[in-house]
């Protein structure tokens, strides 16, 4: 029974990592602690995943570059529709926008996860749009803002480290080159080696969810 429970837990870790990675509104810039060079970890399904380590941390920072068969405006519309995450993102039980001011959004996220306690956090994100040779280029960046959101709840693990970003670039053929970076510490008792192991699968699932959502009419026709 112990062996079976352990195997089941290991099987579900990529899903857990996916939710802890996904909290959208990320950062395309490399900043904060010094880090090593990017190393390729996986390449397939039109998605390349890189990782590197940061000084003083056992957790990896990840960067992924992938193709999405949608206009950049549609991809941005998916990522910017925070309120809709519970409808298409697994285990996302709540995403509440607390404040929108111009290009800045403050949103609270609550994740209901299998086998481990729920996670929650508040993020402050900023986005920008600039003209490019093939169409609009979007950047989204975020940082934790738990002081602007609800107080900690009993039985829910508060995530205090979550930073990353999106760079959304049209390639001129009606598709998008999306670059995603993420560095997070979900807290709790998940060892770093296990969290890192699940991240590659988690990123693939995240890209699959965005690719699927971007085909929906309400996003595909967006002119954001």
pLDDT in tens, 166-222: 999 999 899 999 999 988 877 766 665 665 665 677 788 889 999 999 999 999 888
Task: Output b/e per residue, 35-64; b: 16+ Cβ within 10 A.
Answer: beeeeebbeeeebbbbbbbbeeeebbbbbb
Q: Report, at the CATH architecture level, how domain 2-220 is classified.
A: 2-Layer Sandwich (3.30)
Q: Domain limits of the chain?
A: 2-220
Mean pLDDT score of the chain, rounded to an integer? 83
What share of the chain in percent tops pLDDT 90? 56
User: Does residue 57 or residue 35 have the better pLDDT?
Assistant: 57
Residue 36 banded pLDDT, cuts 50, 70, 90: confident
- Rounded to two decimals, what is the model's pTM? 0.81
- Backbone phi and psi for residue 136, each to the nearest 5 degrees, phi listed first: -70, 140
């Amino acid at each position: 029974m112990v062996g079976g429970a352990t195997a089941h837990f290991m099987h579900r870790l990529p899903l857990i990592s996916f939710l802890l990675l996904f909290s959208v509104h990320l950062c395309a810039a490399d900043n904060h602690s010094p880090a090593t060079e990017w190393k390729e970890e996986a390449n397939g399904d039109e998605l390349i995943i890189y990782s590197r380590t940061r000084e003083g941390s056992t957790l990896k920072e990840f960067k992924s570059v992938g193709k999405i068969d949608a206009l950049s405006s549609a991809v941005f519309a998916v990522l910017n529709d925070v309120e809709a995450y519970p409808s298409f993102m697994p285990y996302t039980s709540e995403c509440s926008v607390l404040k929108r001011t111009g290009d800045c959004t403050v949103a609270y996220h609550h994740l209901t996860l299998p086998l481990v306690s729920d996670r929650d956090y508040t993020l402050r994100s900023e986005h920008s749009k600039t003209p490019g040779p093939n169409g609009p280029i979007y950047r989204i960046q975020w940082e934790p803002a738990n002081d602007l959101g609800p107080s900690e709840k009993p039985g829910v693990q508060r995530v205090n480290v979550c930073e990353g970003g999106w760079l959304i670039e049209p390639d001129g053929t009606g598709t998008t080159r999306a670059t995603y970076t993420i560095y997070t510490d979900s807290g709790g008792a998940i060892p770093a080696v296990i969290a890192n192991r699940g991240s590659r699968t988690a990123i693939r699932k995240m890209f699959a969810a965005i690719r699927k959502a971007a085909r929906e009419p309400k996003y595909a026709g967006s002119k954001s």
